Structure formats: structure tokens, C-alpha cells
Amino acid sequence: MTFRDLGLMPSLLKSVSEKGFSQPSPIQQKAIPFILEGKDLLGGAQTGTGKTAAFALPVLQLLEKQNNREHYPRALVLTPTRELAEQVHRSFIDFGSQLHQRCAALYGGVNINPQIQQIGHGVDVLVACPGRLLDLVNRGHLDLSRIKFLILDEADRMLDMGFLHDIRKLISLLPSQRQNLLFSATYSDSIRKFACNILKQPILVEVSKKNEAAHQVAQSVCHVAADQKKNMLIKLIRSEHRAQALVFTRTKHGANKLAQHLDKQGIDADAFHSNKSQSARTNSLNRFKNNHIQVLVATDIAARGIDIEKLPWVINFDLPNVPEDYVHRIGRTGRAGETGRAVSLVTPDDIHLLRQVEKLLGNSIDRNNSAEPIPSDESQTTVPPSDPIPFHHRKHRSKKNTTDRFKRRRRTTRSTATQQSA
């Protein structure tokens, strides 16, 4: 299956190949034709499966086919974080390089005036975080009454982050005649309800990870006493010469302290969390992406959506309180066919958190009982990567279903597209 088979126009095929995509990923194969047909869509797929192109390409094509010399906003993409808005915006720019669509990224934490100016010049696609978008609407700079496409990216994360109220408000400003696309990695009751309210007879598209065979996240656990955690982390980082690691802590304060500690030990590190200014966040992320720092110490805000190419290593300095976050954290490595590793430091007090994660995964990752650094030979400490998502269109998904869903090993691509009746 090629991008051409999906019905994309030549100018999009050109930018896709310039981007180096030779073949559409499963979610792209399934979603693009339906979106081009004008259907509402509920897309269930883990991070790293190529969702951005799955919606950006067909939406760009549909926009291009309409005449819009005035450049009023016709597509709205909502994202939970600024970084993700920036990334999705970048994709629209890249894919649309041969087209006539204008795109703006609208998010808080940066000066609003350039955004107001850009809107004033006319934009077709808005990629926005809900808060700043509402602000712009309330100040009278944006008219959403001609939006034809609503895309909710990482919808589950937006709900987790408490954006439900803002999103409802925004949707009330949109015309009822529009195409809706909703993407979510998880399918909780709240997402199900949310989706039912927004989508009209949606096509359900679900896939497991792209390119199973090549994609691996080797997970392991390192048991360690609480007062030895920092030393263990340093040993781990030093054991892999110059390998970059994304390190997760539970709190912002913890991230700051740990980044400082690593710096003192001669390991270049930045902290990355929501108390940092937007420019500091962008700066740290760029430094990390460009390999100027070895370690980024982050809270869970970084666990979603951010795409760092070829990140070899995720280290859970603290296990997350919410087991689902574990899956999102380790999804930062081994993206798009690369292999990656995830190591979790577990103190005796945190065993219950480990058990929660294992329950969710349906796997034991508790194999390494020594406090030695994880050897680079993965065989001792790894388990097969968990199946990240079969996202069945059951009406009610109980906790048990969620667990079952993670139990299946990721060995075969499962992708189905089903007309949903509800």
C-alpha cells in the first residue's frame, strides 16, 4: 500500500516523499481514505503510530479543494500541550509546503501579539491549545464560525489535563455542520462519553504500533534503596557512554533537584515541566534534541506527544502514580521503528506502583532483583514489549478490558475499521 493508493493529491505525495515517508503507517492507511470521504473518525492508536500525518494529509487535501482566498479559519486542531501544538503545526507546514493553506500555532506562555497579527493576515488551519484559543476568541480576534474540521489530538490527555470545560465552550462556537476527528491512545469511559457527544456516526479506526517487528521497547526494573536512587541513576547514565536519556520524576521540584544534581556530577541535564516558562521549555527541548544536553529530567507533561527522534533511553527515576502514564513515558523511546529501552528505579516503598504497572501491562517487568546497573545485554532484564493498544469498539470498557488490552503481545498488526453504530 502506498500513499498514492490512499487517494492523496500529487502535491501532497511530493511533500510526503520529501519527508522521507515511503509507506503509510497502519493508522494512515486506515484513516486517510475515510477522512477524505468526509467521515467523522475515532482513532485509537498509541503514540508513535503516525497519527499526525493521518489527519494532517487528508485535511490539507480537503482544504485545498475548497476555494478560500480570504483565508478564514476552516480547520481547528486542539492539542493538550504547547510542544505538541508546535509539532503538529510543523507537520502541517511541511506537508502543506506545495499548497496554499496557511497555518498558525496558538498557545499560551508566549506573547500573544504575534499570534494576533498572524491571525489578522488570514489563516486556514489553527493548531491550538484550548486556553490561548479561548483567550483569542474572547478578545475578539478569532471567529470560529466557519470551521469545517475539528481535530482533537491526544483527546485523553486533554481530558486528563482538565480541558473538558474549555473544549465544550469552544465547540459551542463552531458550526454544527463539520467533520470531527478524535484521536486518543486510551479509551476510558470518559473518552467514550466525550466522543459520543462530539462525533457523528464515527468510523472507528484502531491500530497497534507501527512496524511491530522493528519496534521494540525493552523494559526492565532496577530495585534500589531510596537513598541510593541518585547514585544508581548516575551509574546507569555513565554505563552508556554519552547515550541520551529522558528521565522521569514524579514532581516538578524533584525534576529541578535532580537536574541540578546531575549537572553537579558532570552530566549535562535540564529540567522540563510546566512551571518552566515556555521559552525555557522550548530551549531545553531543543538542546536535548540537538544533543547539547545528555539528560532531560521531565514530569509527565513530556510523556505525551513529543517526538524525539531515536531516543535510546527512558529512565523512570520515580514510577508514575497513574500506571497508564508508564505506557506513555516508555512510548517516548523506540518510536517509528527504532529500538529503545526503558528502565525503572523502584524503591521498596514503590513496589505497589510497580505492581499496578505490571497489572496494566499483564507482564512482569520485575526481573532484575539486584541493585547493579542494568547491563547493556538486554536478555537478562527484558520482557517482550507490551501491546500498546488494540482499542476495541466495545460500548463499555471496564478496568478489566483495559488490562486485557495490554496483555496481548505486540506481534501482529491488528487494525480494523468498523462502522460504529452508536
Contact residues toward ligand ADP (CB under 6 A) are 21, 23-25, 28, 45, 47-53, 307, 335-336
Minimum distance between the CB of residue 342 and ligand ADP, rounded to whole angstroms?
16
| Residue among 407, 50, 114 nearest 278 (CA) | 114
User: From Mg ion, ligand ADP, none, which one binds at residue 184 (CB under 5 to 8 Å depending on kind)?
Assistant: none
Minimum distance between the CB of residue 153 and Mg ion, rounded to whole angstroms?
6
Minimum distance between the CB of residue 252 and Mg ion, rounded to whole angstroms?
24
CA–CA separation, 269 and 295 (whole Å): 5
Q: Which is nearer to ligand ADP, 61 or 220 (CB)?
A: 61
User: From ligand ADP, Mg ion, none, which one binds at residue 24 (CB under 5 to 8 Å depending on kind)?
Assistant: ligand ADP
Helices (H), 183-249: 189-198, 229-239
CA–CA separation, 128 and 176 (whole Å): 20
Selected range binding Mg ion among 224-232, 300-308, 336-344, 407-415, rule: CB under 5 A: 300-308
Q: DSSP letter at 58?
A: H
Q: Does 30 bind Mg ion (CB under 5 A)?
A: no
C-alpha cell at 407: 496483555
Minimum distance between the CB of residue 10 and ligand ADP, rounded to whole angstroms?
17
Q: Which is nearer to ligand ADP, 28 or 179 (CB)?
A: 28
Q: Which is nearer to ligand ADP, 41 or 236 (CB)?
A: 41
CA–CA separation, 155 and 163 (whole Å): 9
User: From ligand ADP, Mg ion, none, which one binds at residue 49 (CB under 5 to 8 Å depending on kind)?
Assistant: ligand ADP
Minimum distance between the CB of residue 24 and ligand ADP, rounded to whole angstroms?
5
User: From Mg ion, ligand ADP, none, which one binds at residue 335 (CB under 5 to 8 Å depending on kind)?
Assistant: ligand ADP
N-to-C CA span, the chain: 30
Q: Which is nearer to ligand ADP, 87 or 368 (CB)?
A: 87
Q: Does 51 bind Mg ion (CB under 5 A)?
A: yes
C-alpha cell at 251: 514532581
Burial 305-340 (b: 16+ CB within 10 A, else e): bbbeeebebbbbbbbbeebbbbbbbbbbbbbbebeb
Asked if residues 125 and 77 have their Cβ atoms less than 8 Å apart, the reply is yes
In degrees and rounded to multiples of 5, residue 366 shows phi and psi of -90, 70
User: From ligand ADP, Mg ion, none, which one binds at residue 50 (CB under 5 to 8 Å depending on kind)?
Assistant: ligand ADP
User: From ligand ADP, Mg ion, none, which one binds at residue 333 (CB under 5 to 8 Å depending on kind)?
Assistant: none
C-alpha cell at 194: 466525550
Minimum distance between the CB of residue 312 and ligand ADP, rounded to whole angstroms?
15
In degrees and rounded to multiples of 5, residue 60 shows phi and psi of -60, -45
Asked if residues 219 and 365 have their Cβ atoms less than 8 Å apart, the reply is yes
CA–CA separation, 39 and 142 (whole Å): 26
Amino acid letter, residue 148: K
User: From Mg ion, ligand ADP, none, which one binds at residue 263 (CB under 5 to 8 Å depending on kind)?
Assistant: none
Q: Does 229 bind Mg ion (CB under 5 A)?
A: no
User: From Mg ion, ligand ADP, none, which one binds at residue 234 (CB under 5 to 8 Å depending on kind)?
Assistant: none
Minimum distance between the CB of residue 185 and ligand ADP, rounded to whole angstroms?
8
**What residues line the site for Mg ion (CB under 5 A)?**
51, 305
